[in-house]
Amino acid sequence: MECLGCKLATKNLPVHVVFEDEYVCCFLDHEPFNEGHILILPKKHVYDAEELDENTMVSIMKASILLSKAIKKLCNPDGITICQNGGIFNELTHYHMHVVPRYKDQSFADFYSDDEIVIENETKLKGTARKLIEVIRGECL
């Protein structure tokens, strides 16, 4: 049985893809810290960073740079946080990297909070995905 991350990375579950290549699938987090919060997942199953092959590792880093540029253009954040949680903190049981737009005076500790989670509505996610795709195609590639 595939893990949740595998199902998301292979689009066997609904995701709002903003970029993908041979090695990774990048889509909007449905529980975003801020609008434009993207997850980068390898298409093949990998649990932790040390298991990444070189091609996938390079693809993840290239995608993180491309997506950071697109988020900066679209969302005008004060900064970007790129992070990865491994081991028991890997809730998808599949390697994934977060690319998160951040704004002044936000506490990133809230990112790890167990408070009530707000799931973004489908219409807003579709609109954000469409805008990011346009920026990526027009400005960043």
Residue-level pLDDT at 133: 85
How crowded is residue 85: how many other Cβ atoms within 10 Å of its Cβ? Answer: 15
| Residue-level pLDDT at 99 | 96
Res. 111 pLDDT band, cuts 50 70 90: low
Phi, psi of 24, rounded to the nearest 5 degrees? -130, 155
| Position 85, amino acid | N
Mean pLDDT over the full length of the chain: 87
Contact 86, 48 (CB under 8 A): yes
Can you tell me the distance from the alpha carbon of 50 to that of 77, in angstroms, rounded to the nearest whole number?
31
DSSP-derived 3-state class of residue 84: strand
The fold of the 4-109+117-140 domain, in CATH, is HIT family, subunit A (3.30.428)
Q: What is the pLDDT of residue 16?
A: 94
- Going by pLDDT thresholds of 50, 70 and 90, the confidence category of residue 139 is low
How many CA atoms lie within 13 Å of 106's alpha carbon, on the beta-carbon side? 17
What is the pLDDT averaged over residues 26-43? Answer: 93
What pTM value is reported for the model? 0.85
pLDDT tens column, 119-129: 567 778 888 88
Provide the residue ranges of all domains of the chain, joining segments of one domain with +.
4-109+117-140
**Confidence (pLDDT) at 1:** 55
DSSP string, 25-82: EEEE-SS-SSTT-EEEEESS---SGGG--HHHHHHHHHHHHHHHHHHHHHH--SEEEE
> Directed axis angle between helix 54-75 and helix 122-135, to 10°?
100
HSE of 84 in the Cβ direction (CA atoms, 13 Å)?
Answer: 20
pLDDT in tens, 67-88: 999 999 999 999 999 999 888 8
Give me the pLDDT at residue 77, please. 95
The pLDDT, as a whole number, for residue 36 is 92
